[in-house]
Amino acid sequence: MVVEREKANGLKKINISARAKGDLIMMGIGGFSPLNGFMTKANWKSVCESLTLTDGTFWPVPITLDVSKADADGIKGGDEVALAHDGVIFATMKVDEKHEMTETDKRWECEKIFKGKGEESVTDKFWEADHPGVKMVMAQQEVNLAGPVKVLSEGEYPSQYKGIYLTPAEVRVMFEERGWKEVAALQLRNPMHRSHEYLAKIAIEVCDGILIHSLIGNLKPGDIPADVRVEAIDCLVENYFIKDHVIQAGYPLDMRYAGPREALLHATFRQNYGVSKLIIGRDHAGVGDFYTLFEAQEIFDTIPISDDPGKNLLCKPLKIDWTFYCKKCDGMASLRTCPHGKEDRVILSGTKLRKALSEGVAIPDHFGREEVLVILRKYYEGLTEKVEVKMQTFATGDTMK
């Protein structure tokens, strides 16, 4: 490692995005196994079209490295470069391939990866004005570099999120120490409201334990930052869970907001953490109205299956219906268990919670635990600049029967 760092200092430095930094770290810690580098054009095309690498291994979203033409100038196959973000060298890379990404290529990727069955996907061809994932891809630089990497840094995560940022190996050891064999993961990019709590407790009932696994990379404007979410989850676990059945952890990726495809990615890398089931509820990893209510559940039923079990997705979805608090049931329920009308239900969503907190309006009874809301209100009261939160149709409950 020391030798590689010294070598990196003498290589041509390529500036990379925050998203690429997170992808690199996941490769370095084994979270993106079997990937050992950024994808070639052939693998990019295969993943977009078929949800597999060219060798048939399941993989749902492209992991590519975009660089400027100026940075790519003079680089040829076989060259080694250093990959840096904000002045920090994160990895060295042996360049196997350099290829241009045209506007047509980017639009094609967006159609394959981000397009859903929801109203906004159907009516707006490329959604560049509103979809954060599409905007991210369309803003990528002109050239992709592909090749294996040697990761040299995990960035700020081990120190800034000590005890929360855990590698797959560390999480697997914790599962083994506790004797957990069947483990569910709850994917989070929001603080836990009552629906999240309910989903987690359903999973604990049917599995040995749950990994509450939060994204601690970058989010879109208006989302609640990782340190606030971690504090809120800590508070909830402390007061409302039996700790022997819960592990809270974080992982260093940026959100891609790819809805169903991102649900598959969440399951794919959770497999490397030793997780056997991923909770998939309403509009998993969605944004706006680009995806339908359970599109992220349905996609698991359509993925390719190889004759080689080692190439398949082994982490299975734990599909749970739309959940809410029902006043007549006097508790949490779902569309599968509650016979009452939507006028009796408190519709719970992270978007609805962020909007209410941002605008300083009252939070409905039974929406969240008061101890958690205290933490979130304090955060919003300290903001000097607020971002308008766009409500999803699902979050309003208007489409609920």
Query: Which residue has tokens 């209410």?
Result: 356
Per-residue tokens: 258: 């790819």
Helix, strand, or coil here: 274? coil
- Integer-rounded Cα radius of gyration of the chain: 21
* Helix (H/G/I), strand (E/B), else coil: 384: coil
85 is written with which tokens?
A: 């973000």
Q: Rounded distance, CA 281 to CA 295, Å? A: 10
**Are 32 and 63 in contact, with CB atoms under 8 Å apart?**
yes
To 5 degrees, how large is the angle CA 226–CA 232–CA 234? 100
Q: What residues are labeled active site?
A: 189-190
Phi/psi at 239 (5° precision)? -105, -20
Can you read off the two tokens belonging to residue 199? 């989903």
Distance set, CA 249 to CA 167, 205, 213, 324, 334 (Å) = 9, 20, 5, 25, 27
CA distance 245 to 199: 14
Residue 75, amino acid: I
Alpha helix positions (H), 30-92? 41-50, 69-72
CA 234 to chain centre: 20
